[in-house]
Structure 1
């Protein structure tokens, strides 16, 4: 499936034999040159249609404008967010739809429920989220307390945060306010439900902490 809306770079993705392949082209059908961002040229966020599955991948370059990454996916509908910085070209991250085995996705609706407690423990590492404001059009700071665990540098920072709205259309990728903090600042442009994934590395392993929040008007 291809996405070019409002961009000078087109993104075409397909899935075959346990492998995602992505092709990038500019408006002259040439491969765009990519800037390195947080130690990688290419960040790929993959979610399923009800946002219960999340993966942050770094596809390998297989040729001019061609990237691939092995991944095992079940039948169903997915959205890909190709987070790149093409040199000298306008580009905004938009969802690229990927359907596997031609199943209809119309029967599945979002089932997001706001987390009453913003604390999660994964493999013995506890992270607590504090948010100073949850209003649209107002700067929002996400502060993550990693308790007794000290996050290690991962892709040039102590953590990464990805946010999607309930429809899986609005993509926000937030990096820490500084190199030595686990605070992240962003602005929500509309009210509603959002799912937030925070990534931290402990002892060489990256753990992803999901939270669901509601932003008011």
Structure 2
């Protein structure tokens, strides 16, 4: 056999092997053939078994999209006039445009609505009412004009938990505020809340918020929505949303009603975050607000306490 014949035979054999390899690959499929769930599970309960410091694979924050996983947040209007008691109406639509009317309770409510101006002013955590046609309604304090981000945190019946976000334009004179400085303490209505913890990007980080009044620790916090505290964290750069709840729950025989409330927070990236803690004492829900930087150097000095204005909505 001459050299050209040998080469031709070798080429045919190589082509056959390559074809067999392609066939096997198509039959088996790649290891990552199943699409990953992109929903941010950090927006829901961390749970008592969460491990602080552990890396978290899914780091996508919620609230950045108006449509996700086939559901859409549809505001009745995206423009309103400034006012102290402005009605907000909206629906959660399925992919076919039909409003969702069945939801699963999460922390004693079917839907949690967060509204905050894009400069982090005017934070409100409220709970709308749902009518039979699938329309949610709730009044908001929108006395300060500007662009607000509205977050709907819910679990549709038969689906996974989602947080959708949409912008709401509030007409009037706009007074944008700079992001408040990083602080380890916040004061609201005579209560002092102290934050202890470091946010490490991409990892589950333990954060403890301790409540005191008149220099004395508060040890009789009252349950609010099934917990001693609720924490919302927003990424300052784009208002990416993290909604976490504390380890344990009232009545479990382990969790104390203060002064400290422990959370596990996963920040998806380095940078500034605004933290809003809801807690209840003496029958009133209050909100303490903090600015914290993910990736802070441990032991870095923090500014003095940041006083909080009264009258946060719930």
**TM-score > 0.5, shorter chain as reference:** yes
CA distance, structure 2, for counterparts of residue 90 and residue 127 of structure 1? 33
C-alpha RMSD of matched pairs (Å): 2.3
> Given the alignment, which residue of 142, 164, 172 partners 1:94?
164
Q: Write the deviation string for residues 40-68 of structure 1: whole angstroms up to 9, x where unpaired.
A: 00110000121021000100112322010
| Unaligned runs of at least 5 residues, structure 2 | 1-64, 250-254, 297-314
Structure possessing the higher relative contact order (Cα contacts under 8 Å, 6 or more residues apart):
2
Counterpart Cα distance in 1 of 2:277 and 2:141: 22
Give the alignment's TM-score, normalised by structure 2: 0.62
Give the whole-Å Cα distance in 2 for the aligned partners of 1:90 and 1:153: 25
Whole-Å separation in 1 of the counterparts to 2:244 and 2:206: 10
How many residues matched?
Answer: 210
How far does the alpha carbon of each residue in 1:101-136 deviate from its partner, in whole angstroms, 9 at most, with x for none?
Answer: 388x8x95x7224324x12222222211101x3220
Question: Would you say 1:119 and 2:188 are equivalent positions?
Answer: no
1:20 corresponds to: 88
Cα distance in 2 for residues equivalent to 1:209 and 1:61: 28
Rounded Cα–Cα distance in structure 2 between residues aligned with 1:164 and 1:171 = 5
Instruction: Point out the more displaced range, 21-30 or 151-160.
Output: 21-30
Q: Is the 8 A contact 1:7 1:90 kept in 2?
A: no
Counterparts in 2 of 1:124 and 1:91: CA distance versus 1, 3 Å: closer
Runs of 4+ aligned structure 1 residues displaced above 3 Å come to 89-92
Unaligned runs of 5+ in 1: none
Q: Confirm or deny: 8 A CA contact 1:9 1:89 kept in the other structure.
A: no
Counting only pairs closer than 5 Å after superposition, residues 1-217 of structure 1 correspond to structure 2 as 4-13=66-75, 14=77, 18-32=86-100, 33-74=102-143, 75-89=145-159, 92-101=162-171, 108=176, 111-116=178-183, 118-131=184-197, 133-147=198-212, 148-149=217-218, 150-179=220-249, 180=255, 182-216=261-295
Rg larger in 1 or in 2? 2
